[in-house]
Structure 1
């Protein structure tokens, strides 16, 4: 085993990344206060090749220079838009045929690796670092995704949770559609884990 150098790792160029077919998953980042968490979600969105990031409420945007410290250039290739109100975004996506999911602890939890085929295209909402996704927004969702936790805390950092959920959701979509991995689209495992 040897660590690959950056030159040895197959990856898309920025131009290719902008034009590559995304996975049919969008992320609504609602009222996330830390610009570093938002930057991290840009980087994760690029890695997962999601369709779009909707930055809603008071979530910061790439106009904030500190976002670049964690996005590391992903802000230049990930499609994004900013919206004051999340509800019209949810309504528009639903009208376009998207299922709406929340990443939140609810009484109807579903592991992201078990997302039904009918849930794609999917828009997943992640919320505030302290309060999560507000109840009125949860009530608009079709699905609630939850990540198992085995320690004292009942939640993860929002950007970490979003990354874990997106990893499972992308792998689930690729598994359901029998998509093969190619350069720039590299997977470490070929089988989905048992959940």
Structure 2
């Protein structure tokens, strides 16, 4: 749970790839989060069953129940996903499909990072915007950023070594924390 004065951000990578630069961006976010920010990285993408509306009822599959519980418990969600075949990868779209039947994403402060090279990943971004709009997620525009991550800037520990990139990721976390703090003020 989030601290009374802090912000808990759920980090969700749309990649199942071991050496993913998307996941590296979120691992780095975990490491460099400001003191008032708690990050929790979701790692169950590959454990979710294929979405079937007939199965979207209690009792939910344990992996789906865990996903929804994590979203509900977070103050905000930060997404980072690759693009496959011009859109969201299937496993990540499956995750998003499982959120449709629950209310956890409704008005949930949400941001995204696009780590693709400039001019790339636009299909995934457009697909993500469509789905998040359908879910009525509260997009934190100042925290949505394109932060290209070159594979060679990811160390053996899975963290980004480039200081400028790390600063940009820290800026995303700060923008999310600022947004959630403002939302708490009556």
**TM bracket (short chain):** 0.3 to 0.5
**Greater RCO (Cα-Cα under 8 Å, separation 6 or more):** 2
Query: TM-score with structure 1 length normalisation?
Result: 0.40
Query: TM-score with structure 2 length normalisation?
Result: 0.41
